[in-house]
Amino acid sequence: MVEPRIGVGIVGARGHAGAELVRLLAAHPRFGLVFVSSRELAGQRVAEHLTDPGLAAPLGELRYSAPTHEQLPGLGAEAVVLALPNGKAAACVAAFDAAGADPAASNPVLVDLSADYRFDEAWYYGLPELTRGDYRGQRRIANPGCYATAMQLAIAPMRDALDGAVQCFGVSGYSGAGTTPSDRNDPDKLRDNLMPYALTGHVHEREVSRRLGHPVEFMPHVAPHFRGITITANLHLSRPFTLDEVQARYRDRYAGEPLVHVVDEAPWVSRIAGRHHDEIGGFALSADGRRLVVVATEDNLLKGAATQALQNLNLAFGLPEFAGIPVPRAQERRPPR
């Protein structure tokens, strides 16, 4: 017996993360796209914007649309992903709240990729490797930020041994700056350059500090490559550790997590582009064993956005968490240098 498709809609699919999610959902064994909204692309076939011809058939004649906020609840999606810039999700959520007053209206799962609801306790914060035990069937899910995902995964195994603020130096490809033109996504201005920005008070700094319950100081930069981020985290420890102890903590914490790979050497951002997992490694201890440096990399558009959203959708509908996510076999997880 063929199980029915679960209808998903995407609001804001012109952005980089929304486009990645279209590709993942088009290949998913259970989810099917009901609508894909983009004012700029309205009327165009979604399949024409995909580079993989194998995904054209599942999308059929589906076209980008430009529904109003008020029309969204009536489009029949069982889940809706809001892939909008920060500050834009509230109007969509308000439309679903208003429609929810009608007993006959559907109550779709909402997954917000922006920062708008990451500080709202009424929303489940969906970083599954650290929070899946907190999922209780919530219909509102806040997807973590890309940098925030990498930082939390890099710090969490040492959370109980921290002494003082953690410093994180981050470098992102320019896809992280979105599609609206700016200095931070201008390849010409970034060429042979490293551009610092928001060096205090960045939203991901506040997000990670809140989620870990520990102060984190974050210094982001943009580099000339398109996708992929790297974080170098500097952790001061409350007691001396050996390198074996540290590595054992990370390996034990992420044992059985197919989307977190713990490696010995420092991971390269060029190796993470287009892949769905985080890599954590490059462990270095000071001579007294009380300062640890850890490096983490991820594709900001995948595990930092679309892949994580799909993990959360799978969990919300009782599907295997990694359904539709290309998970490498153990022997394929780390390509040779």
What's the confidence (pLDDT) of residue 174? Answer: 85
Note the pLDDT tens digit of each residue in 221-267.
999 888 999 999 999 999 999 999 999 999 999 999 999 999 999 99
Same domain flag for 151 and 294: yes
Same domain flag for 247 and 285: yes
What's the confidence (pLDDT) of residue 193? Answer: 87
Query: What CATH number should be reported for the domain holding residue 225?
Result: 3.30.360.10
Same domain flag for 237 and 200: yes
Structural domain for 252, as ranges: 146-300
- Supply the mean pLDDT for the chain: 91
- Above 50 in pLDDT, residue 195? yes
**Residue 262 has which token pair?**
């713990």
Note the pLDDT tens digit of each residue in 208-222.
999 999 999 999 999
Cα-only R_g, the chain: 20
Same domain flag for 129 and 115: yes
Q: Does residue 1 form part of some domain?
A: no
Report phi then psi at 332, rounded to 5.
-105, 0
Weakest-pLDDT range from 51-60, 163-172, 218-227, 308-317:
51-60
Q: Does residue 335 form part of some domain?
A: no
Confidence label for 328 from pLDDT (cuts 50, 70 and 90): confident
Same domain flag for 108 and 167: no
Confidence label for 181 from pLDDT (cuts 50, 70 and 90): low
172 close to 252: Cβ distance less than 8 angstroms: no
Note the pLDDT tens digit of each residue in 78-114.
999 999 999 999 999 999 999 875 654 568 999 999 9
Q: Does residue 336 form part of some domain?
A: no
- Average pLDDT estimate for 305-327: 97
Distance, in Å, from the CA atom of 25 to the CA atom of 12, rounded to the nearest integer, reads 15
Q: Which of 89, 146, 153, 260 is catalytic?
A: 146
Q: Does residue 84 form part of some domain?
A: yes
pTM of the predicted structure, to 2 decimals: 0.93
Same domain flag for 114 and 230: no
Same domain flag for 179 and 284: yes
Query: Quick one: which of 295, 165, 294 has its CA closest to 241?
Result: 294
Same domain flag for 175 and 48: no
The alpha carbon torsion through 7, 12, 13, 17 (nearest 10 deg) reads -110
Note the pLDDT tens digit of each residue in 21-36.
999 999 999 999 999 9
Active site residue 146: yes
- Average pLDDT estimate for 202-209: 96
Same domain flag for 118 and 187: no
Same domain flag for 309 and 289: no
What's the confidence (pLDDT) of residue 332? Answer: 42
User: Domain count of the chain?
Assistant: 2
Same domain flag for 100 and 169: no
